[in-house]
Structures are given as C-alpha cells and as structure tokens.
Structure 1
C-alpha cells in the first residue's frame, strides 16, 4: 500500500468570493465549477472548495437541528499547507495584497521549512512552505 496524493478541501461560505480570491489573488486556475464544489489548480497542486452555507443551525425553532455537515460556522475552521519552490518570491508577490497572516510572516522554522501563511476570505489558513536543503 502506498498513498500518493492529498488534496485539501476547504469549507467556504460564499463560493464566488472564494473562487475569485484563489484565482485572482493566489493565481490558481479554475479546473471545475459546480454549485457547491470548485476545483482549482496551480502547477501540481489542487485545492478544492466546498460550500458551507447552511444557516438552519442558527434558528431557535431548530433547538435540535438536523446536522448537514455544511453548517456555515465550519467555513474558516480549516487550513492547508502547500509545499513549493520559491516561497520567498511568493511572499514578495502576496505581501502587497495585505493577506499575510499577522502572526505568520515568512521565517525559517525549526522543523526544516521556510514558510508563511495567508488567510482566505473565510479565514481558512493557507501556509506556503519550502523545505530548506
């Protein structure tokens, strides 16, 4: 047995807003668009976005709501790490866009990476990293 791929699937509240962020701000290409699921790609990396916009959990009459798994509060609770080459160049490109996480500027980490993080519009954390050799 051998695992060969992992693709992050991030919950978002507003698909169009998130799709534009990943496309226009981060530079991903759109590979598939559905009503509740989007596939984006950049080089060898894919990111999947899924719609988490169920607001029924907020309604008082739903004191014991049916859990759908797409409740809106899930959006912004996820993150992913994207390995790459040229992390410093990516940092320089994204820095002026004011999306760098305030607690995650580019730096060398004790576990052997150089990395930084950004927040998407729902506050999912995306960390870009490069292995130090």
Structure 2
C-alpha cells in the first residue's frame, strides 16, 4: 500500500477540512512531546493519508487521486455540509470518469474519481 503524506500547518483547519468536511476518520496521531509538530493518519474507506506538520516531510501543493464508489452520493453529502471554503462540482471527463476535486487549506489537491461506462 502506498500512503501519501500531505504537509499541514494548522490542526484546527486540518480537523475542519479532513474530518468534519470530507468525512475522513482519525486513525491515530503522534507528537514526540508537547510543542512539537503533529503527525496524523486519516482514512476514508480504503484511502489512507498521512498529514504532517513536520518540516521536510512533504511540500504544500501536492496532488493525489482517490478512487471512490458512488461519487455523486459523496458529492451530495459534501454539498449538505456548511463548509464555506469549498464548493466542488462533479465533472465528467473525456477519459471515462466523473471527478470531484477539492483543495485543502494548505494547497494540497485531492481528486476523487469514479470510472463510468
């Protein structure tokens, strides 16, 4: 399994975006000691991400693609939430997918996609 690492800078914004808005589950978090950076693992279905405050773990502005079933239902769920920083739309692509792209508060891009017939 490949687990991407996204750089984050603010715990509250991270929780608001990944947990409350996107619906990821907090699997675990680690901090060497008080006042040190956090390192998290979050998951949504089969997708697992690491989120790190540690300098050098990753660069802001990374991008990943996550395959998801029932993308339109997931989009409806996101649309019902009152997250004022993102209002993504589902787009049909010429390569046979429907896609929904969100950008986190740290400029990391996640494209959720579903293959269509």
Separation in structure 1 between the aligned mates of residue 92 and residue 17 of structure 2, nearest angstrom:
26
Which string of whole-angstrom CA distances, capped at 9 and with x for unpartnered residues, describes residues 33-89 of structure 1?
A: 01231000122111110115x5xxxxxxxxxxxxxx259xx33x1121110111111
RMSD between superposed Cα atoms in Å: 2.0
User: Larger % of strand: which?
Assistant: 2
Match of 2:78 among 79, 85, 94: 94
Q: RCO (CA 8 Å, sep 6+): is it higher in 1 or 2?
A: 2
What's the counterpart of residue 19 of structure 2? 23
Q: Distance in 2 between matches of 1:83 and 1:10?
A: 18
- The alignment partner of 1:39 has SS state of strand
Structure 1 residue 91: Cα displacement: 1.3
After the TM superposition, which parts of structure 1 deviate over 4 Å for at least 4 consecutive aligned residues? none
| Distance in 2 of aligned mates of 1:10 and 1:115 | 20
Match of 2:96 among 112, 118, 121: 112
For residues 94 and 44 of structure 2, the distance between their equivalents in structure 1, rounded to whole angstroms, comes to 27
Q: What TM-score do you get using the length of structure 2 for normalisation? A: 0.79
Secondary structure of 2:87 counterpart:
coil
User: Is 1:49 paired with 2:51?
Assistant: yes
What CA deviation, in whole Å up to 9, does each residue of 1:68-120 have, x standing for no partner? x259xx33x1121110111111112223534135xxx3111112210011111
Query: Secondary structure at the residue paired with 2:106?
Result: coil
Q: Pick the structure with greater CA Rg.
A: 1
Unaligned runs of 5+ in 1: 55-68
Equivalence for 1:38: 40
